[in-house]
Structure 1
Amino acid sequence: MPRDPAGFEARFEQFAEASRIKGHSEDTINRSQYSMRKFFAWCEERGIFRPTDITRPILERYQRHLFHTINPRTDRPLSLAYQQTILVHIRSFFRWLIRQNLVLYNPAADIDIPRRDNTLPTDFLSREEIERVLTQPNLATAQGLRDRAIMETFYSTGIRRMEICNLKIDDAVREQGVVIVRKGKGRKDRVVPIGERALQWIAAYTQDARHKLVAAPDERWLFVSNTGKQIPRNRLNGWIRGYLRKSDIQKRGASHIFRHTFATHMHQNGADIRFIQAMLGHKGLATTERYTHVVIDQLKKIHAATHPAAQMKPAGPADSAISRPPD
């Protein structure tokens, strides 16, 4: 059966091509495609095959479907952040369609996007936990040496999963003690400091293990998969979840937990939040400021040391009548 040139897939291919011309990254386009294919499949199950057949009530019905969907992996409802991502992708797709005069009106123009949860990054590792995880890989194997170098790089730099997968061999500059992140989120480059310990593990991996894993032609990815190519992002998450389980750590997350841990430990040790923002590659300070809320132990110590009421001794029996609050 020939493909409908006005169907969902054909229109999305045109949208993706337009996005590439505008300079959007393949990672951004792939995330949009993942969201849209879920929406397209839901529509086709209900006999809807073209963007021109979508109405606002249909989108509102799909929004209710997302709200009530249970994630089979976590056995929990989809997070508001995930719902928001899907709906934003749908809105962008229809915005492009209306600009191209491919639909008569934009059914997503006024759809209410759920507000993202302003949750605290509670799932970070303590110093004892991070060291326990780092010692899990089997260093007698090339894969184990690679995984130790990857996790050391995560913890030392706080860079994102896609950014570590995109590192090339020359991007870890030992002489300067930095990692060069090329075309990170928002297609922006930045330079991030990296500690000597992580650099030593990278050097051990590149000298003793990488040549055992890499496949021809060598595309010069710093970290390569078991098949010798660039590491898929989801595969990286699977490896790290395995090490967390081996460490008997039940906290949620995988690669991103290293990013939370990096920022939290830096802030606990006195790093200015603006410098952490620069290293994390956050566009705005508000995103980074979430990490100021997780250092509660330090705040309690400061409160106890400086607040007048916190320094008052409890009243003894003789003072109980005076110190008791009024009824």
Structure 2
Amino acid sequence: MEPLTPDDPRLGLAGHAELVAEDGAWLPCRLPPGAPLSPPGLTAAALMASGVRADFVTDATGLAWQVRVEVPAGTRRAPAPFDIVVDGVLSARVTVEGSGTLAVTGLAPGAKRITVWLPQYGSTRLHRLRLEGATTLEAAPGGPRWTTYGSSITHCTGAEGPSATWPALVAARHGWQLRNLGFARECHLDPQVARFIRDTPADLISICAGVNIHGKASFTRRTLGPALAGFVATVRDGHPDVPLVLLGPITAPDREHQVNSAGLTLADVRDVVAGTAAALREAGDMHLHLVDGRDALGPSDSHLLTDGLHPSAAGYRLMADRLAPLLHGFAADPAAPTGR
């Protein structure tokens, strides 16, 4: 089989908004590029491919993919690895820094489903992919479409690998097609994100808001509720009846009662998120639900935070274990009662 470009539909590349072609390579972007006044930090975070993966069925016994992975200038942190999952089982975890080859050999003969998860930290440029010994190739079958929006705690740059972020773990458990719109440091209810979610097919939507808003003092008590309600209203223009879940912040002990420059503690932000959810339901949105973030990771789990804010790998797994049944319930029964 001839080498394949990443935009070949048989590779089933998913989780991105656009593939930007440049100098013989393709760069997956999680938001459409070129939005007017796009904050530089949001633009940079959208170039990190959290949740982006190639997902296909083939009889290939190996693969070799020419790639280039770059981390932000000035950082000493290594990029996240690629995860290669075969028939639902992690087969290889490979880190590529700079230009190199993602190579996997010795796969069993016969048809198998291969999912290549791109690094969730670092921008990834994809060149051509060679499948060794392949005579068949087709995109893997799809499932219900789930879009989740949030901060670094949804982006999960510190997870062990891209298939081990809590959204990826939840999606794998339920057979959902994931679109991860977690943007480290950049979850500030930007209208361009709301418009993208509005215009993108989805069967379930979740929005985790609060941590970045508190940390950067993006909104005051006066403005946060209306801003969140406006974000939801834009999403609802495209998805009036899709189950939509608002998640408040997970625990962050040092920030719970820390007053930011906008006069809000993290506990205050959590209360505003809950109050906004209640107001929207009272106004008639019975397909909107609330999950208190502490139900995903609460005060008794603070030992699973690496820096008082971000979960460890075990913390992300625990979040997936707790959120998977909750989200599945909302997806299956859109008018179910809200969480606490």
The structure having more radius of gyration, on CA atoms, is 1
Tell me the TM-score normalized by structure 1.
Answer: 0.25
The structure with the greater share of residues assigned to helix is: 1
Q: Which has the higher strand share?
A: 2
TM-score by length of 2: 0.24
